[in-house]
Chains A and B, each alone.
Chain A
Amino acid sequence: MYKIEKEKLTALFQMIAADQELFLPIRNGGQVNFGPWSEAVEVDLETLNSVKSPKDVFFPQSENLYTVKQNDGHMCIEPEELKNQDFVVFGIRPCDVKGVEVLDKVFLVDPLDSYYAARREHATLVSMACNEPEETCFCKAFGIDCVEPGGDVAVWRVGEELYWKPLNEKGEALTDKVKSLLVEAEESCVAEQQAAVRKIVEKLPYADLSLDGWNGEALDAKFNSDIWEKLYTPCLACGTCTFVCPTCQCYDIKDYDTGSSGVQRYRCWDSCMYSDFTMMAHGNNRTNQMQRFRQRFMHKLVYFPANNGGMYSCVGCGRCVAKCPASLNIVKVIKAFQEKGGEL
């Protein structure tokens, strides 16, 4: 393990960004989101959750797939260039790292999504332990230890120091690059803080949230439960939960006619909360908001785990808890079923 004084963080960012892009949490207009570092931006490592999850570093909110041009009266397809330069994501939280692992299960399985895969291949994740978990946090329910970050390099902020620990070859390579700024440190230096933060986690409002019964079984009983009718009613179908979620990956493919530069076929985030999401020429298989609401949570808690060895498509980041204008969220769903026990 290594450490660096917090005062030298700007020097660290300069060194990382000297020959590659660096994405980190940036405060802009009162909101924190991940964006590219420059001398001019205000880095914010204190805010726990960025408004949008950092998933758009790998799966942008909107990205061009290819452009179709007319050449001598013939169509000509120009695929968008794939990411081919290394870059670093600094300050990604342990829950959001797990969120990227969930996206990997979607985009890196056959057939590989080459746009996503190229970004993953070139990225080094520097994941930052949490110091002050919020009341909306419930990552523990999904087996995440917020003081033991994953990714390629783990970092902890303790007092005036930032502790730095490479976790794999990619992490070692980045460490070598910035070694002139780092000094060696003992792992025990972060242990005290880890223990203190874990104690806070135990006292959070959702600390007792249990996923018992969400093991992919009793699909019919859950699907047909009358709990959904009671739960969904406040839902405005605004889609906020899906856009701030680190694991939601539904997308649309659309065309943008640039005029003289051809037609861009791009993909953009979409939401299963929207009424036209499943609309076809001959009808819609989810005709009301209850069905769409149910689909989102059944997917995260039942269908996705069934396909992925029990891995849930939720990481407990709490963004939906904090952002839903109608105070609906996945915790309410889990608790509603928890309270009913076996009687669905």
Chain B
Amino acid sequence: MCLDTLIPQIGIITDIRQETPDVKTFRVNAPEGGKLFEHMPGQCAMLCVPGISEGMFSITSSPTNQEYQEFSIKQCGILTDYLHGMETGSEIMVRGPYGNHFPVETELKGRNLLFIAGGIGLAPLRSVINYVLDNRDNYGTVDILYGSRSADDLVQLKEIQEVWMKMEGVDVHLTIDREQDGWDGNVGFVPTYLKELGFSTDKTALVCGPPIMIKFVLAALEEMGFGKDQVYTTLELRMKCGVGKCGRCNIGSKYVCKDGPVFRCDEVDELPDEY
């Protein structure tokens, strides 16, 4: 029998990392080892816990990782509360991948890239960043601007410091919202720091973070001279089915789960102001 796309597969949680006080990264494998499915950077998957519910999460690991998939998840609701209580070795149901992806093999190829992330918004961008770094010759310069509430809320800090910061041709700019003991980096909101850094407009920007940050970052980029077609972001609306049928994430004639989550900003502009 051909299984419906609404029916999940069973995976095993093989590793859990506490990233910040409220974010954990879950590594998921197929029961026989390896990955449950192939995906592209920016795509999402539905994690399902029977008896609790299911929810859509971005896949934070890069497709170039052949061994597993990872999800960085912030504890903020019934399902994520439950997930945060799970242990390594537990079974979990996964369905997907869903949605479109960042155009890493087309529009982004050969471009200088500027990644701008806030808080848990690093999760989807991490997939693209590692994809780009694993295919380094296909892309130009890489700048990563990442900010969070505090130094303790920076997700994937170990990888940022030990891998990204040490790579040639990669510039990482970190910032936190408020002064904090032991932090000698920048202090200030992401949009402000972005303007202070003043990147040249020969780049394509990929933006992900809380809605309020995205709003101010997009305005800052426009002010800096970036064209709408040079900026990509992701939208996040309530989703149930993941395949453009249940109606929740409908905005204008688009379904974020199927036509998104990745949109170029000139495409976002065509949507009704309801996101």
Residue positions of A touching B, CB distance < 8 A:
65-66, 68, 74-75, 77, 79, 82, 106-107, 111, 113-115, 216, 219-220, 223, 249-255, 257, 262-263, 265, 267, 270, 272, 277-283, 285-286, 291, 295, 298-299, 302-304, 306-307
Contacts and interface: CB of A to CB of B under 8 A. Distances in A.
Given A82-B1, A111-B5, A285 B237 contact: yes
A220 B236 contact: no
Interface in B210-258: 210-211, 236-238, 240-241, 243, 245-248, 250-253
A280 B211 CA distance: 13
A115 B10 CA distance: 21
Given A115-B4, A295-B250, A220 B91 contact: no
Given A75-B91, A285-B237, A255 B53 contact: yes
B253 A307 contact: yes
Interface centre among A223, A251, A280, A299 (most CB of B within 10 A): A280
A251 B245 contact: yes
A253 B54 contact: yes
A278 B245 contact: no
Interface stretch (B44-52, B130-138, B161-169): B44-52
Contacts of B93: 68, 75, 77
Contacts of B76: 281-282
B252 A303 contact: yes
Nearest to B46: A253
B51 A263 contact: yes
Contacts of B243: 111, 113
24 contacts: A68-B50, A74-B10, A75-B93, A77-B7, A111-B243, A220-B272, A249-B245, A249-B247, A250-B248, A251-B247, A252-B240, A255-B53, A267-B6, A277-B238, A280-B236, A280-B237, A280-B238, A281-B76, A282-B76, A282-B210, A282-B211, A282-B236, A286-B274, A303-B250
Contacts, number: 110
A172 to B, nearest CB: 28
Nearest to A70: B50
A174 to B, nearest CB: 27
Interface residues of B, number: 40
B8 interface: yes
Given A107-B245, A255-B51, A280-B237, A65 B4 contact: yes
Interface in B1-18: 1-8, 10
Interface in B80-115: 80, 91, 93
A112 to B, nearest CB: 8
B275 interface: yes
Interface in B168-224: 210-211
Given A74-B10, A251-B245, 18 more contacts: A66-B7, A68-B50, A74-B91, A107-B245, A111-B5, A114-B3, A114-B4, A251-B246, A253-B246, A255-B53, A278-B248, A279-B238, A281-B76, A281-B80, A282-B76, A282-B210, A283-B211, A303-B250
A79 B3 contact: yes
Contacts of A253: 6, 54, 240-241, 246
A304 B250 CA distance: 10
Given A113-B4, A265-B48, A279-B238, A291 B247 contact: no
A306 B80 contact: no
B50 A263 contact: yes
B2 A114 contact: yes
Contacts of B250: 295, 299, 303
B91 to A, nearest CB: 5
A216 to B, nearest CB: 8
A82 B7 CA distance: 13
A223 to B, nearest CB: 5
Nearest to B31: A74
